[in-house]
Structure 1
């Protein structure tokens, strides 16, 4: 300060100090503002990270673990399981709904899932797709094995399903196999989503385990074999009344291990009964045994003995109701089929064409027709056509190929063969025998 100075230089130096101080204060203020904005955005950032993780874009294990710690989220101590939760049949609620109503409804479903798992801080929930939510269920050190992870998954799925049911929503939930490794969450979600694809066959409101439906596994192979023959087996039970023997055989199968597998098998039987009744133009809901009620009852059964009694009672009640309805309807069904064949015998009719016209399944229509008349549909149609051909041979001078076409046969040779098989005469012999001296 004792040295000679230039005033301008001193002022300039002081101004630089002031400017630098201001810049530092601005930087601190900006950082505080950004940190506050970051804290406010944490829920959104966390949701974005979890969604990218479910989609397989989370990176390697080290990066994922760093992200989990940043968001103060649990890091799995062992195997964990993933659920895919899907809103069933949203069309009626969402198709015509305004955007605000649609978003509110989806928020309600999200809230249902979160509320059902509110006491599980060790889980992650995100809206993975438009009508589908992903749930990741971690475990503690005490639950660090695959069996515990599987139990957590089924327990959580049942709680979500029940919460949704109480709120008036139907959800189908796919349950992935227990997995290990942070970078495999997307694989677990894909398994759960793949299980959801079986909703088409099993129906709405199901808990579907990937272990039981995925191709390649022993359980899936067994499930595939059962599904191929199950309709025929259940149909035989409904017709024979052997529900008790069927239940004992089914539940004694060593492949059905655990309550969840047994429940899933029983719900498959409900679906079979529903399909078999629909083939007869009957609705299971009208019998007082609506599928959703069956699932609700099953969830409350705790022992294999209870489930056995439920299954026998359900099959017996369904068989009695079907028999009563079919006895009332079968005569009318046969009359409808006969009228159609007599009106359209000149067309290239098949059993499928007839059943489609009458809105029955081919198997059911043929079964009822045979039971009532002792003939199959095709046997009766053949007699109708031959009877019409006999009349044409007696009363007209039409040529054989013309008569063949007029009664629904495209090939004259085939017509001749069928005619002789039924009457014992060729068409020509029949005409000569039945026409008198004054005939055409």
Structure 2
């Protein structure tokens, strides 16, 4: 039903409109009438009509001023003026206020019906538009966290992720070219051995994550990643890159301090916040690595920027091996992945000799990230974190723990290798199809790479690995094969064949043909015309 209000100081005018509407519309309800401008304004407040018939000359506030007041709070209301005064200034003001019709009294039935039908169509369109906008907003609200999580995973997985990050930047409408990363850890009380209850604290972290996410988002523009065990990665976009590193550092620390202050007393834990340097969007993974190093350098709760780390003790944790492990797993290289994992495990075993729980504590974050990488290729792998924790903590023997970790690394690298092999074959197939369809044009490696959405360098490497020859040789082979077929046709001239196989110079075509076939095009054609 469409809700209509009639505002007119003449009772006969109200009754006349009521009669016309009742007789001609079964989808319209007259919800209110008013005899003055003030009464109309007051009744709109609680009745909220879709359409209002408004007289201009009424006691007190006139119709034009009444419309102006109503429009301040109810912009969607559609107005039809019905007046005995045919004055240009009134009509001009009515148009400025968005009035859809200006009817002169006494208006006949036909004009009233036409005006009301027009108003109904406008209301319908606006309601449908509002409905569509709400549905779109709801969809965006549902998909936004998924996109943000994907963006953060791309940051932390150490893969060759420049292209992926730029894709997420477009999907998330991030206009800023730069930014930095904060890695935030929910810090819980340790036991007498300096260890924590990983399973219990993971569950606690899940409970406070929503509060944390909302708080961070309300403080400033940023992207909050998913909860990974008891850590969260946050990307903070920055509009301009500046050479004043101290200024950038102070601003980032101020943001972290504001976050810590807002959450103080609301969480059943402390916060450890590591901050990376400001980077360009394409190199944002480096900021994450710096934030992680800053976080690890903290002995307790607090905030530390990467620039505040004193880089000493080069014999410490083999971070280069951790990075190599992530890169190797992302490439699906089982051998390199296992070798890197063994190096890390050996280091942990040497430093924490006999302290099994400490070794597990260090391995947990590493293997959790490895397992998460498989979620990009196998949704079943991206499972329950608690099960993963329980499985690790139930292993007492260090040899068994090493084998368990190796199985995870090997399994994830194997799945990624299968996916990448399939993806590689698919890309080369698409490249070959493009060449077959466009060999007669002046195509380049860049044209094909743009078509299949990879870099020319990567495509060149893949092409050589998969076909055994480079792009130019493959394209030349296709063109010469087609040229031989055309030369066997007596109706095609050599010049026509040259142009039809992608060559613009007949002399150059002849040289290439002879180099590949051993004879000139003319000689080859002669064997079929003799």
More strand by share: 2
More helix by share: 1
TM over 0.5, yes or no?
no
Q: How does the TM-score come out when normalised to structure 2?
A: 0.36
Q: How does the TM-score come out when normalised to structure 1?
A: 0.42
